[in-house]
Chains A and B, each alone.
Chain A
Amino acid sequence: MIKTPDLIASLAANATPVRRLRPPVMRAACWLLLAAVVLTLLAVNQGIRPDLVRRLQEPAFVVCIAASLLTGVLAAIVAFLVSLPDRSRLWLLLPIPALILWLSNIGYQCLTQWVAIGPDGMSFGEAARCFATLVLTSLPLSLAMLVMLRYAAPLRPIAATFMGSLAVAAITATALSLFHVIDATAMVLMWNFGTAALFVGLAGLFGRTMFRWAAPRTLYARD
């Protein structure tokens, strides 16, 4: 085993100048900007759902979309906050009210409009387009989040991944509500809950491994 004074000497000898990380809120803003760009590109490509203006007059829809967007924004900010060593873990509680509002709204809509699925309410084409939106939104955002949060690797990988995944899931759900007509159905519920559960489950199982892949080798020099 190398002696501690020798280790200190070798670390000091390797002390190249580093660029400090920007404040967490600013980094979250950059990520959200990327999300906005992705959503805009999707809107240009796929077009906004035709009944959006009419739906925006329904309070339940507006609350749902606002809650999911707010959850995404807050979760992104918290993910960047908890990825730093000296920030309190209490920040993890910040997106919870918005999350509860969002999830309860989906549950309520599902209960009241469950019967609305008619025999021809859902076609394969629409479902495939929905899935494309899901992947096109969540994939680049997840990758960007993973790379931006890599410094959390030796500290709180699970908490940071959890929040990052929640942010991606919430933004994706917002995108689905903006672009696709089918909502308040089993499919949206499955996708919204399913995506969140999938990301959170993956975060729990592979959070450390994913960071190991994204983080530079030196972060794990002694593991």
Chain B
Amino acid sequence: MTHDSRSRGLSLRLVGKHESGAHETASVARDVDWSILMACAQEGDRTAYHRLLQEITPYLRSLAARWHRDPGDVEDSVQDVLLTIHSIRKTYDPARPFAPWLVAIANRRFIDRLRRQGRTRDREIPLTTEHETFSEPQANLEVKQDRLELEGMVNDLPPAQQNAVRLLKLKEMSLKEAAALSGMSISSLKVNVHRALKSLRKMLVDRSEP
């Protein structure tokens, strides 16, 4: 690959389908802006740096979308580029345009990620649910049985306790969320859960005794 990074920089700046003079002027102005912001950042201006990173992020996202399909990968790549920029920000020379510097780093990181993914795909097979079922048949069947029994017992509880157990224990909500959803106060939720667990324990003990 012997692309000239400067030409890649130009293609970045002119993203619009119809390149017009106005577009070009705007992109050049933005490049100058970013250059100035980066120069300030190199001198330790945190506000300028924050603004620069915020402004380039949507750009990097659109660039990353050309290389990766998965949105998770796109976001990971963008963060990767941001970290790289941070660690090698002293290599930027404010006398030169900013876009080619940025695009060269970004493309490098995107390609690196694709290569890494390729290597991982070649060597590793992700485990699917079938793998787990075949390797641990006991776990799958038993858990389902226990769950049905437990649900049956929860249905026997008084409605307030049922509600509290379902929200706090089965759906694993926080006290605050459960209170907002059920309309019960936090303290009454706590009391009901406590009582429900006590009754469930009693029911389980009764059942296991002959």
Where the two chains meet, the residues of A that have a C-beta atom closer than 8 Å to any C-beta of B are 1-2, 4-5, 7-9, 11-21, 23, 83-90, 151, 154-156, 216, 218-219, 221-222
Q: Which of B41, B87, B104 contacts A218 (CB 8 A)?
A: B87
B49 to chain A, nearest CB (A): 4
- Size band of the interface chain B makes with A: 35 or more
Chain A residues near B75 (CB-CB < 8 A): 1, 4
B89 at the interface (CB under 8 A from A): yes
Are A222 and B79 closer than 8 Å at their CB atoms? Answer: yes
Are B5 and A151 closer than 8 Å at their CB atoms? Answer: no
Are B90 and A18 closer than 8 Å at their CB atoms? Answer: yes
Chain A contact residues, majority secondary structure? loop
A128 to chain B, nearest CB (A): 42
Q: A13-B46, A15-B41, A17-B43 are in contact. Are A90 and B4 (CB under 8 A)?
A: yes
Chain A residues near B91 (CB-CB < 8 A): 21, 83-85, 151
Where the two chains meet, the residues of B that have a C-beta atom closer than 8 Å to any C-beta of A are 1-6, 9, 41-47, 49-50, 53-54, 57, 75-76, 78-80, 82-84, 86-94, 96-97, 100-101, 104-105, 108-109, 112
B68 to chain A, nearest CB (A): 15
Chain B residues near A8 (CB-CB < 8 A): 50, 53-54, 57, 82
A84 to chain B, nearest CB (A): 5
Chain B contact residues, majority secondary structure? helix
Give 11 A-B contacts (CB < 8 Å), ordered by A residue.
Answer: A1-B79, A12-B50, A20-B42, A83-B91, A85-B88, A86-B5, A88-B6, A89-B3, A154-B84, A154-B108, A155-B88
Chain A residues near B9 (CB-CB < 8 A): 86
B110 to chain A, nearest CB (A): 12
Chain B residues near A16 (CB-CB < 8 A): 44
B103 to chain A, nearest CB (A): 8
Are A20 and B90 closer than 8 Å at their CB atoms? Answer: yes
Q: Which of A19, A85, A221 contacts B83 (CB 8 A)?
A: A221
Measured CB to CB, the nearest residue on chain B to A89 is: B2
Chain B residues near A216 (CB-CB < 8 A): 87
Measured CB to CB, the nearest residue on chain A to B45 is: A15
Are B82 and A85 closer than 8 Å at their CB atoms? Answer: no
Known contacts A8-B53, A85-B88, A89-B2; 13 further A-B pairs (Cβ under 8 A): A13-B46, A14-B86, A18-B42, A84-B91, A85-B105, A86-B9, A88-B5, A89-B1, A154-B109, A218-B83, A219-B84, A219-B87, A222-B79
A115 to chain B, nearest CB (A): 43
Are A151 and B53 closer than 8 Å at their CB atoms? Answer: no
Are B6 and A23 closer than 8 Å at their CB atoms? Answer: no
Q: Which of A23, A156, A218, A222 contacts B93 (CB 8 A)?
A: A23
A68 to chain B, nearest CB (A): 26
Q: A85-B91, A151-B91, A155-B108 are in contact. Are A4 and B83 (CB under 8 A)?
A: no
Chain B residues near A221 (CB-CB < 8 A): 83, 87
